[in-house]
Chain A
Amino acid sequence: MLLLLLVIIPTAAAFLVVLLPRNTLSRWVIAVPAVLFLLVLNSGEIPPQVVSWVPSLGVDLSLMMDGLGSWFALIITGVGTLVLLYAAGYFEDPAKYVRFASYTLLFMAAMLGVVLSANLLLLFVFWELTSVTSYLLIGFYHEREAAREGARRALIVTGGGGLALLAGVLLIGSVVGSFDLETILASGEQIKSSALYAPAVILILLGAFAKSAQYPLHFWLPGAMEAPTPASAYLHSATMVKAGIFLMARLYPALGDTPLFNGIVTAVGLFTAVYASIYALRQRDLKAILAYSTVSWLGTLTFLIGLGTKESIKAAVVGVLAHALYKGALFLTAGSIDHATGTRDIDRIGGLGRVMRFTLIGAVIAGISMAGIPPLFGFVAKETLLIGVLEFHPIITALVIVSAVFTTVAALRILWDSFAGKTPEDLPHKPHEVNPIMWGAPLIMGIVTLILPFTLPALDHPVSAAIESVRRAPSEIHLHLFEGINTPFILSMIAIAAGIALFALRRPVIDLLRRVPGLNTNAVYETLIGRMLPNGAQMLTNNVQNGKLRNYISIIAASFVGLMLTLLIVIDNEILGPIDFAGADVETALICVLLIVAALSTVIAPTRLAAIAALGIEGALVSLLFALFGAPDLAFTQLMIEVVSLVLFVLAFHFLPDTFSTRATRIRQLRDLTLASLVGVVMATLVLTANSNRLFPSISPWYVENSVPVGQGANIVNVIVVDFRGMDTQGEILVLVIAAMGVVGLLRLRPGDQPRGQYLEVDTVANQVDDNEPSLPVEQLENPREEGSTT
């Protein structure tokens, strides 16, 4: 019950806060994540609780809280509380705060769902919900073009990754035969020996990498910095981007410990860690620096999972918390600086320490933690990290140190270049201290960072539990602030010293970095999704949906011929059985001859009216045929349809010239003739084939027997329509209504007349169009003067 509440409470609060009056009282919504935090803190591990949801698909609403889930849930609710607190100071307008709080609570519910799911498909559903709510938060300032673009990009990349993840999840489900997480985690051997293992791993990792911003899918994260700063602090450093890390850790027992999984994860993570830590220095925007340094740290966490030992998983678990605390605080600080000065350009600001004293304290603690300087929690994280990698190849250690050095430089740069030195004169606002809520929230994070290293034994149990859920083996660990002068400590000191040295020389280094080509994959995205996709779609639409009925019918007919011919050839049927002419008599033969004559007259008729008349005769003959073969209902309905469509044809052709245009070229006439004949031939073959191949016993006798006793009606056709197959009829009448509304709606978009709606642009082009061209306005928008005739 508690687990369900953890997801339901924030969701309900998100809706409630919107419905209640929006004033300063709305800020008490902070109590929601705070209560959740205490609930998680006070509950131990909870075994899966199952509520059946979609049993036919194997999806259950089953939640559980193991060591890993509880660790993440604590971070999600804890950081969430502080972020909502900060936002209360950040958004002065209560209406904006309410909107932000509502989105954030929804996101929190989704994120808690991800870490607490005990069913892989359920996890996927929550995973997608985090993408959607994150889209709302990144696009929070939806009136800004850049915010919309950033939100869209994040959604496309993480949503695309989500599709890959879904495919991977389904593959795993098909191997194991269940989506239950416990079952899947217990059948690691079965999954790894399956032929679907490699595709499943690659697809799932694609989803995890997209979410956790691993190279080359990392570029959406800096773009997502258009979000309000509290959202960036929460989603893009503390929680959502860690979902990918969580997923890899969660599925490690099922997928890990193979060269494929560990190889990919380690390589991608290492490259991302080093690349992004260096790339961060190029940036000028405070938030962009923080974003790239986040990407770098996410890379570190990724390869730690790839290494897969007890020590490396320990480093990842500790690293998640350390990073959430210091990066969250720094993001909030960046928001305060933006608020106080009106800019986040690190080359423009400076000397803020003098006016923003309290902000400075929080920022310094967080920055020192990020730089990995003792005795802060960041130092503990870096120590465990170095212990975790030392048993592997020295190259890995070297790369980790490179990344650590650059992270130190970035941390010092953020601190020094914003708070030290002289205050510039040309800032958009005169710098001032922000309100106590805004400096308070990062300060609390800083204080936690400061206290945690001295209360490490309290963390021993939760960290051990988290490692156990990843490794599925007893993993008792102890955290120490200072383990004596050993290799990791010395390496750590070297990294700090090198970082400080490099920081002193930062100017030439940054200039150099800005001149080197960036290896950024954003340009690839821009080309593919930004230009080629819309252009391709436009081209396709222009060609396929050009508003000419003739083309639509040609495409439909050609598709029909193609598909049916394939079907007839591929499926090995006896194409033509013995054709039985026994039932044929003189009347039938006469009607058939007349049918052919009417069809031919329709085609060669010189005027439209004659063609319509011939078509009417054709329809009447068909109804006669129905009547002859004992289907009076069908015959009568067919006749009525013929009457109504005749009227419609007359009304529609009113707009067209009386005679057919002769402008159609020979080639096109030939093409149309071929297509039409093919449709006829294929249809005839199909009917004959269907007649001579009976795959299942006929259902007709059942209808005949049950019509009166069950359907209480003697007219079998009617009983089928309104009773036996009533659902079909329900669908059909809906389609009819939709079609009628479509016709009425389209006719309202009349070209060449006063517009009734707001279709002004349609009207302006419509004047250029030939009078005898009856077509949808769409066409006039696209290509006003292409092919003047209508055949």
Chain B
Amino acid sequence: MTRSPFFKFLARAMMPILILFSIFFLLRGHNQPGGGFVGGLVGASSIVLMTLAYGAEEVARQMRFDFRRVMLWGVIVAVIAGMLGLIFQSSFLGSIWFKPYLDGIGRLELGTPALFDAGVYIVVFGATVAIVMAMAEESDREVE
């Protein structure tokens, strides 16, 4: 199957933009529209575009890591965020905030809800890509 070079170029160009955009969504989520879920979807869409342009096997080879594992790491990150709450707040997922003031930059807001959101981001990213790539692998095989 021949794949459009233009589409390939577009997908390649879009990928870093989409991933940066998705992280931006994740980070601004707590105060403005965004968050881990939608961020994960945007991030996944970059890989989905690549998959459509290059085919699942090519992408899998280039990526060098397995998205089925990525999503499990997301669960682990989310559970760690919850466990921190359990240890320091004696309630699972209880929130802890740490807000140091950095000179010249501004206030850095770190908290377990943000970490938890990062876990959600990773899970959504990994699960979406895993499903789409599995389907795409099947339909590529069908074509060959």
Contact = CB atoms under 8 A, between A and B. Distances in A.
Given A714-B31, A718-B34, A648 B113 contact: no
A722 B135 contact: no
B33 A636 contact: yes
A715 B45 contact: no
B113 A647 contact: no
A636 B132 CA distance: 20
A221 to B, nearest CB: 48
A188 interface: no
A648 B135 contact: yes
B34 to A, nearest CB: 7
A571 interface: no
B129 to A, nearest CB: 9
A285 B37 CA distance: 68
Q: Which residue of A643, A654, A726, A733 has the most chain B CB atoms within 10 A of its CB atom?
A: A733
B48 A743 contact: no
Given A640-B41, A737-B127, A655 B139 contact: yes
A740 B93 contact: no
A717 B35 contact: yes
Nearest to A654: B139
A719 B45 contact: no
- The 5 A-B residue pairs with the shortest CB-CB distance, nearest first, are A640-B41, A713-B30, A740-B127, A654-B139, A726-B93
Contact of A644 (B48, B111, B130): B48
Given A640-B45, A654-B142, A733 B75 contact: yes
A607 B20 CA distance: 37
Contact of A633 (B34, B82, B93, B130): B34
B132 A644 contact: yes
B93 A736 contact: no
A651 interface: yes
A730 B34 contact: no
A740 B120 contact: no
A641 B113 CA distance: 23
Q: Is the interface of A mostly helix, strand, loop or mixed?
A: helix
A630 to B, nearest CB: 11
A633 B35 contact: yes
B120 A733 contact: yes
Interface in B122-141: 123-124, 126-128, 130-132, 134-139, 141
A755 to B, nearest CB: 14
A741 B69 CA distance: 10
8 contacts: A644-B41, A647-B52, A654-B139, A718-B35, A722-B116, A729-B78, A730-B82, A740-B126
Interface of B: 29-38, 41-42, 44-45, 48, 52, 68, 71-72, 74-75, 78-79, 82, 92-93, 95, 97, 109, 111, 113-114, 116-117, 119-120, 123-124, 126-128, 130-132, 134-139, 141-143
A736 B123 contact: yes
Given A712-B109, A714-B30, A733-B75, A747 B138 contact: yes
A470 B39 CA distance: 68
Contacts of A744: 68, 130-131, 134
Interface in A724-782: 726-727, 729-730, 733-734, 736-737, 739-741, 743-744, 747, 750, 753
Contacts of A737: 71-72, 74-75, 123, 126-127
A734 B35 CA distance: 18
Contacts of B126: 737, 740
Nearest to B32: A715
A715 B30 contact: yes
B38 A722 contact: no
A735 to B, nearest CB: 10
Interface of A: 632-633, 636-637, 640-641, 643-644, 647-648, 651-652, 654-655, 711-715, 717-719, 721-723, 726-727, 729-730, 733-734, 736-737, 739-741, 743-744, 747, 750, 753
Contacts of B138: 651, 655, 747, 750
A206 B137 CA distance: 57
Given A654-B142, A726-B93, A727-B93, A743 B131 contact: yes
A130 to B, nearest CB: 36
A560 B136 CA distance: 33
Contacts of B116: 722-723, 726, 729
Contacts of A647: 48, 52, 132
Given A733-B74, A741-B68, 10 more contacts: A644-B41, A644-B45, A654-B143, A713-B113, A715-B30, A721-B117, A721-B120, A727-B92, A737-B74, A744-B134
B127 A715 contact: no
A723 B131 contact: no
Contacts of A641: 41
A643 B142 contact: no
B113 A651 contact: no
A648 to B, nearest CB: 6
Contacts of B124: 733, 736
B120 A747 contact: no
A637 B134 contact: no
Contact of B130 (A651, A714, A717, A740): A740
Contacts of A654: 139, 142-143
Contacts of A644: 41, 44-45, 48, 128, 132
A730 B109 CA distance: 22
A585 B137 CA distance: 46
Contact of A711 (B35, B95, B136): B95
A733 B119 contact: yes
B142 A721 contact: no
Contact of A712 (B82, B97, B128): B97
A711 B130 contact: no
Contacts of A632: 33
A637 B38 contact: yes
Q: Of residues A633, A652, A740, A750, which shows the largest number of chain B Cβ atoms within 10 Å of its Cβ?
A: A740
Contacts of B32: 714-715
B23 to A, nearest CB: 15
Given A644-B128, A733-B74, A743-B134, A633 B33 contact: yes
B92 A712 contact: no
Nearest to A644: B128
A722 B36 contact: yes
A636 to B, nearest CB: 5
Nearest to B123: A733
Contacts of A712: 30, 95, 97, 109, 111, 113
Contacts of A718: 29-30, 34-35, 117
Given A644-B128, A733-B119, A722 B35 contact: yes
Given A715-B29, A733-B123, A721 B37 contact: yes
